[in-house]
Structure 1
């Protein structure tokens, strides 16, 4: 299976700079770059000459670059056919989305099309965020919020152009939108390629990365103007702050300085040490995906299921969800559930209460 990395980010975030480095650096890897070309920002002509609607250019370091204006499935299929025929060589693919694109449909391609799914493995989505203009872009363009929500890793560019306070505010906002994506500052595309490839962001594994500060006190500071039903039954929750991430259990105010942004894309976490009833959970998740699937960008969890002495891991994009049995719970380890949901205007209380009702 050929690993694929999706590179996304708004116009001017630095994708082209990073791509130039991937296409020219002597890294010893044979990488095929698919550039989803709509004319906003293209690799310089001295690196890639664009004369035809679709063409493949061989690079001096063994990489190739394919510019497409059409169907991604066809582009991936054509690349694989040419590789099978011995015309080109590559062992991984990078797809650059246009700066105005929602990466969701690109990610779905790897689950919907059988030929693509049999040949390629979606490794991760990397989103670049411009530190200088990121806050404004997040305010004005929901597609930028979606790019952040889908990310497995966030690269913050142009951090040297803003104050430490402004950078901290941006990181804080990004963590609340997507707590499972590690953040890293990169300088003019000088990201370590190890931070780009083989991240296994779409692998089903027992490790669920959530930003450690996400469940801190400030999660609840300013969120009472949305997504919060003060009348819902808190008796279903164990009332311990780390047991269940309901808004309203405020145990401190450490970060009042952070501005509140009413972002459409938000995330929340569900935790419990009680086991799920498998049949109830399957029915509930099925109904949630059917009704709210298009609003769910990414979701992932490590679950404690009744009758199973192993972790059950799951994740999904929109309505497409996969699950598998993971490692055994270790002796002395308390089996527990940890789930993160990232989406657009999700009914947080409905989902959290529904999950509570699925517990044994």
Structure 2
């Protein structure tokens, strides 16, 4: 199959909380005339990111309870094979990896697997970077370094919360790892999409400089054993006053070890879903949309961190549940 006939694939990567889903939502919601099939991978055992993707006509496939670069890579190949049977429904594919993913095995899938390679082409590896937390992450997380090394395009995000000197320091560190990738500064991933997708930016020769064995064998990736994920759920609505006090205390007490927190909250007496996200000690949240008539109002929270005290956190979470609703249920 000619290159022009193969479906382009963009891999969105970046460490936990950098803003990958924000960028994905921009791609899906802007008026650009393109149709995308989306594959979302999550590290946790319950899906959150899939529900954080904006309502769109695109097909969204979720892979959770495993990292796309490890245990569920076979699922990625099967999804790609299924998509190719109806490739007239979309123009391109976007793969959003978990923040703990090594992009090398993902890229390998589109280069080394003959069947996938014959029908798709890797357009670019786009890495989203948290300007506030990157330098600390690079010192502790091998994944953050590899995500930068393999990037064709880097979105230096959240520049509004750092100084110009901090930005210069971050860019200098990025350049030591990857001197050739194009860097775009952004707030909430606000950059022209033409600078990010559809640029045919993937450079195999540069990848081979980073990883000479890239084409010879499938890369194996091992996660930090101290980084674990757990989820909390509740069928009963939460008391907002208790919840906000509790989640702020969690960020205060465990912020350095809380790599990522995200959740969809059902508050008592609130007909809208509340979405909350956190990275270390930084929290943000807002109403996303109204609960649908046929939608179960279930609270789901996912924590990813280093040796977080699950029992303590879960005990505090249970105290946020509206007890009157539990008793009348």
Instruction: Give TM-score, length-normalised by structure 1.
Output: 0.52
- Counterparts of residues 1-360 of structure 1 (less than 5 Å): 1-39=6-44, 42-43=48-49, 45=51, 47=53, 60=56, 62-69=57-64, 70=72, 71-83=75-87, 89-202=89-202, 298-299=208-209, 318-320=213-215
Q: Which structure has the higher relative contact order (CA within 8 Å, separation 6+)? A: 2
Shift, 1:44, TM fit: 6.2
Deviations 1:47-83 (A, max 9, x none): 46xxxxxxxxxx54x4221112432111111111233
Structure-2 separation of matches of 1:127 and 1:76: 21
What are the Cα deviations for residues 280-316 of structure 1, in whole angstroms up to 9, with x where unaligned?
xxxxxxxxxxxxxxxxx5428xxxxxxxxxxxxxxx7
| CA distance in structure 2 between the partners assigned to 1:204 and 1:47 by the alignment | 30
Residues in 1 aligned to 2:18 and 2:203: alpha-carbon distance in whole angstroms: 27
Change (3 A) 1:105 1:46: closer
Instruction: Write out the 4+ residue segments of structure 1 that deviate beyond 4 Å after TM superposition.
Output: none
CA RMSD of aligned residues (A): 2.4
Which ranges in structure 2 are unaligned for 5 or more consecutive residues? 1-5, 65-71, 217-329
Distance in 2 separating the partners of 1:78 and 1:317? 31
Offset of residue 168 of structure 1: 0.2
CA contact (8 A) 2:50 2:62 kept: no
C-alpha distance in 2 between matches for 1:317 and 1:75: 28
Give the superposition deviation at 1:27. Answer: 1.9
Distance 1:143 1:157, change over 3 A: same
Distance 1:37 1:167, change over 3 A: same
In the aligned structure 1, how far is the partner of 2:37 from the partner of 2:170? 32
Could you tell me whether the CA contact under 8 Å between 2:13 and 2:125 is conserved in 1?
A: yes
In 2, the alpha carbon distance for the partners of 1:10 and 1:67 equals 19
Q: Hey, what's the Cα distance between the residues in 1 that align with 2:126 and 2:8?
A: 14
TM-score w.r.t. the length of structure 2 is: 0.56
SS of 1:33's partner is strand
8 Å CA contact retained: 2:155, 2:189 = no
d(CA) in 2 for partners of 1:181 and 1:317? 18
Change over 3 Å in CA distance of 1:119–1:44 after alignment to 2: closer
Q: Which has the larger radius of gyration?
A: 1
Give the structure with the larger helix fraction.
Answer: 2
Secondary structure, aligned partner of 2:86: helix
Q: Which runs of 5+ in 1 are unaligned?
A: 49-58, 209-296, 301-315, 322-360
- Asked whether the 8 Å contact 1:137–1:144 carries over to 2, the reply is yes
**Number of residue pairs the alignment of both structures matches:** 201
CA distance 1:47–1:167, shift in 2 (3 Å): closer
